Amino acid sequence: MYKNVLQSIENIEIWPVISFVIFFIFFLCLLLWVFTTDRKLIDKLKQLPIEDRNDSTSANPNNSSL
């Protein structure tokens, strides 16, 4: 029954190709960004969670929830 529903849709065969192309373009853009990004930016982004945690504890030293 479900096969018949999908087969009745016109041009259904193009959608898997479109989804693959979108995924492939996204993947290539991500690889391009990874290899061209400045190393200093990566190090800064790497330290963000640690800095955020340190800033919140230094702002309120009497915080007992930690």
6: nearest Cα among 22, 21, 15, 18: 15
Domain that holds residue 41: 15-47
Q: Are 65 and 57 in contact (CB under 8 A)?
A: no
pLDDT at 3: 72
| pLDDT band for position 53 (cuts 50, 70, 90) | low
| pLDDT band for position 6 (cuts 50, 70, 90) | confident
Res 55 pLDDT > 70 = no
Residue 4 lies in a domain: no
At 8-45, the pLDDT tens digits run 888 888 999 999 999 999 999 999 999 999 999 988 98
Residue 10 lies in a domain: no
* Structural domain total, the chain: 1
Residue 22 lies in a domain: yes
Percent helix, percent strand, percent coil in the chain, to nearest 5? 75, 0, 25
pTM (global) more than 0.75: no
Residue 8 lies in a domain: no
